[in-house]
Chains A and B, each alone.
Chain A
Amino acid sequence: MSPFAKRFMRLRGLIRKESLQILRDPSSIAIAFVMPVVLLLLFGYGVSLDAKDIRLALVVEQPDAQTSSLTSAFHHSTYFKSITFHTIQPAERALVTHVVDGIVWLRSDFSARLLNHGDAPIGVFVNGVDANQARITQGYIQGVWQTWLQAYARQQGHDLAIPVRLEPRIWFNAAVRSTDFLVPGLIALIMTLTGAMLTSMVVAREWERGTMEALMVTPIRIWEITVGKLLPYFILGMGGMLLSVAMALWLFNVPLRGSFLVLSLASALYMMVALGMGLLISTVARSQFVAGQIALVATFLPAFILSGFIFEISSMPAPVQVMTHLIPARYFVAILQTVFMAGDIWPVLLTNAAALLVMMVIFLGLARHKTRKRLD
């Protein structure tokens, strides 16, 4: 047999072994397919950064035509679910006991002042525990209030004298749905899990069970062991990616504005980076527990917190922003959010892909350099 044929035979043997192990080991299936589904459902349905159906107390001390026109504006808004009170005390109690998130207070002189002076202040209380939610609630109340004022003024035959009129347009995510940027970002997290965590643990398992020792003494080359591990887990990771994209598009109706080909190529590149991290971890960790811990702290958590997946990088403190440049997931999340929400914006895609390429070369190179066919 030619050396090439033997090489091919060794590689085929390793890949077949690895694939059989993946198919028979419920934990790899769980990490590669069950975890993505759970995470997607959790983030797709459970975690929402939008304010919708905000529970609002409307306090109307003296109901009449004017107040009912304003309260109906709140009732018709999709952002609010309102309850009407006639005095402020029960409304305050409702705010304290979390029955409502905010109060809009129309005092007894509301209609009188409106008719006489054209100037009728309303009282607004918002629960500020969740600062983000409070700001959004406040904004929405203001929006409803302003729209109503304009309509009221037109009805009275004159325009409302507002010196600067705001005409907002929201780009890329016109509906301001957080699902549209959370779900694409999640793909980065899922691929980190398969590429880095699962792979490093699988190699550590071979050390733990003593099978690596037996492999090392066969005529196998280091790069064959590396490729034998990379290929099956690459396919597994890409499978997880396809599953996530399918769920994103058809279950959560996230738009894909860029091309699928670009998305696949970028994912393949990131998968190689993640696998490189996994293999690098496995050169130092010889037990599954240690490998899992290192992978969690060094790859998964940074991908979660520092990648811009949930927390916007530009609003982080400057030193932390610098640190995020070391996190591969950062570049991939940028690519994902661009491809899904904006389209194939080449300058953005290419710079981020270049960063990923550099990281892939570093991680795989280091892993290859540190892997020896020896035990010490």
Chain B
Amino acid sequence: MVVPAVLTITGLCKTFVSGKHTLQALQDINLQIQAGRISGLIGPDGAGKTSLMRLVAGLLQPDNGEIQVQGIDVFKSPLQSQSVLSYMPQRFGLYEDLTVQENLDLYADLQGVDQQQRQQRYTELMHMTALAPFTHRLAGRLSGGMKQKLGLACTLVRTPQLLLLDEPTAGVDPVSRRELWSIIERLVKEEGLSVLLSTAYLNEAESCDDVILLHEGCVMGQGTPLSFSQPMQGRSFHISSDTLGKRQLQHRISKLSGVLDAIIEDEQVRVVTHTRQVPDLNEDLAHLADARVEACSPTFEDAFVAMLKKQHQGMSLNIEPTTSQSNLSDDTLIEVRHIKKRFGAFYAVKDISFSVKRGEVFGLLGANGAGKSTTFRMLCGLLPVSSGELMVAGHDLRHASASARSRLGYMAQRFSLYVNLSVMENLNFFASAYGLRRAQRTQRIAWAMEVFELGNYANTSSGDLPLGFKQRLAMAAALLHEPDILFLDEPTSGVDPLARREFWERINALAESGVTVLVTTHFMDEANYCDRLVIMADGEVLAQGTPAEMKARFRSDELPTPTMEDAFIGLIEHRQTSMTEVTV
């Protein structure tokens, strides 16, 4: 069946010029989007997704090329094309000081929706998004997930022919993400909408009818999710072992010759091989004798990583844990008891307690706004606690934050680097800020350059580094003074899957050498790299324990092998039902 194209892009190029820098955001994009489908524009941050979305919406002028929406040229007659499409920008485009109803009214006015039709449409939308009880609440007071649904409702006050959603699921919790997906699926089925949405979550590719894979401004492929993963059939495996820890196991397996990619997935290691061949565990007889290998079905991420690794051949990583024996001790390094943080009348963190042992990788998992970063800042002594006790490396942060701070390294969310200083100058600055003496400074900087492979970039301004290298530099800077504890705030947000893998290998190596690592993330799958973690929502701890324990709580007959995301959703739903019980 030939489906008509709702969107046609031909030969599209876009460069951004700022000062002396030119950035090629999109290079010769050619694609077609079929009507009545969900098309996913998938790629890591900086791939050019937002630029492409804005070009289709008529917000940017291209260097070259043409875009047609329903046969209307977007650049020649923008007003006409804008009357058949709706667009939700990344931050949803809501007026936070207007109520839910006022936001809807505004967009209905702007889209010219008839007064008579409005009431019915509002009812439908409010029902679909479950926002009906909140119509008089200010949009700014809604939770992240509710804002996102309201943003969607505002773009739908009139039924567009093409709906553009720019990263609608970024940063919201998995429950809201699932809800949003079911709303979109319903719209496509019931109203025959065509949807183009962008996302940095690779696992969302599987929910799309059609996937466009974008990387560094180029389309790497377009097709059904299956068309990407099908060729990978027979190359994906799960390997588990009873005797080896999963991090050790992953490290060993990644060294095997036939293995292209090895990551920790739940309690086992997921392996992608170069060819359709079962990985040969006998290469590493000493350690892998008891490991079990099972074939598993390939995912979209397997295909993406295989594509990327083919491109970046020769860039292999060689990180050895400095001390191979796992030295987990019972020595408690961080002790948090009933801490709270209040901003005005708002509690960002409500009464949380946990403890972290030396050499652990400890995770704080939660959606944006759950209170992870606030907790982190209190742990680093950057924010005073409103009440509660906080001991870091034996110091009470309220009295001795300076001496406690010298023992910890902190990498902030947006990598606090001086963008107009070179890599070398940044390292020199941080070394002097930590008070390293000359000999020690030279030695540590040489170490950082070598371990983080920054040699080729020594004189590049850090602002011009690729994102993955910025992340490396930020981490190197946080490690210069050999801290006992490393705090990483959303370290992997926005970097591509390869850089994320590499990053976790480094974390594993650090943890094996005895550094305690605390990390926040909103990627559910990354939680599996942690020894222990807490799951946070609205400033509260919902659960804590090892990833295996958390998942075990939600094992059932329908769900024999729950993922971290299942566990998270289960916890949130459990909390919501217990909350309604309290209010009833």
Contact = CB atoms under 8 A, between A and B. Distances in A.
A210 B96 CA distance: 11
Contact of A374 (B60, B107, B112): B60
A1 B114 contact: yes
Nearest to B138: A24
B95 interface: yes
Contacts of A12: 109
Interface string B82-116: 11011111111111111000100111111110100
Interface stretch (A166-174, A212-220, A263-271): A212-220
B524 to A, nearest CB: 26
Interface in A208-234: 209-211, 213-221
A211 B94 contact: yes
A219 B82 contact: yes
Contacts of B92: 210, 214
B59 A1 contact: no
Nearest to A208: B91
A91 interface: no
A209 B78 contact: no
A228 B88 CA distance: 22
A286 interface: no
Interface in B339-363: none
A32 B54 CA distance: 36
Nearest to A25: B97
Contact of B95 (A17, A216, A217, A219): A17
A21 B97 contact: yes
B58 interface: yes
Given A216-B59, A373-B78, A20 B94 contact: no
A220 B98 contact: no
B58 A17 contact: no
Contacts of A214: 87-89, 92-94, 154
B61 to A, nearest CB: 6
Contacts of B319: none
> Which of B88, B93, B97 has the most C-beta atoms of chain A within 10 angstroms of its own C-beta?
B93
Given A214-B87, A214-B88, A217-B82, A374 B61 contact: yes
B79 interface: yes
A9 interface: yes
A376 B61 contact: yes
Given A20-B97, A20-B98, A375-B59, A210 B90 contact: yes
Contacts of A213: 54, 59, 89, 93
A13 interface: yes
A1 B58 CA distance: 25
Contacts of A215: 93, 110
B57 interface: yes
Interface string A131-157: 000000000000000000000000000
B60 A375 contact: yes
A6 interface: yes
A14 interface: yes
Interface in B7-39: 16
A10 interface: yes
A25 B87 CA distance: 27
A13 B110 contact: yes
Minimum-distance CB pairs A-B, first 3: A13-B109, A214-B93, A210-B91
Interface of A: 1, 6, 9-10, 12-14, 16-17, 20-21, 24-25, 209-211, 213-221, 373-376
28 contacts: A1-B114, A6-B112, A9-B112, A10-B112, A13-B109, A13-B110, A16-B105, A16-B109, A17-B98, A17-B106, A21-B97, A211-B93, A211-B95, A213-B59, A214-B89, A215-B110, A217-B57, A217-B85, A217-B87, A218-B110, A219-B83, A219-B110, A219-B112, A373-B58, A373-B59, A374-B60, A375-B54, A376-B61
Given A6-B112, A14-B110, A218-B82, 16 more contacts: A9-B109, A10-B109, A10-B110, A12-B109, A13-B110, A14-B106, A14-B109, A20-B97, A209-B96, A210-B92, A215-B110, A217-B87, A218-B107, A219-B112, A221-B79, A373-B78
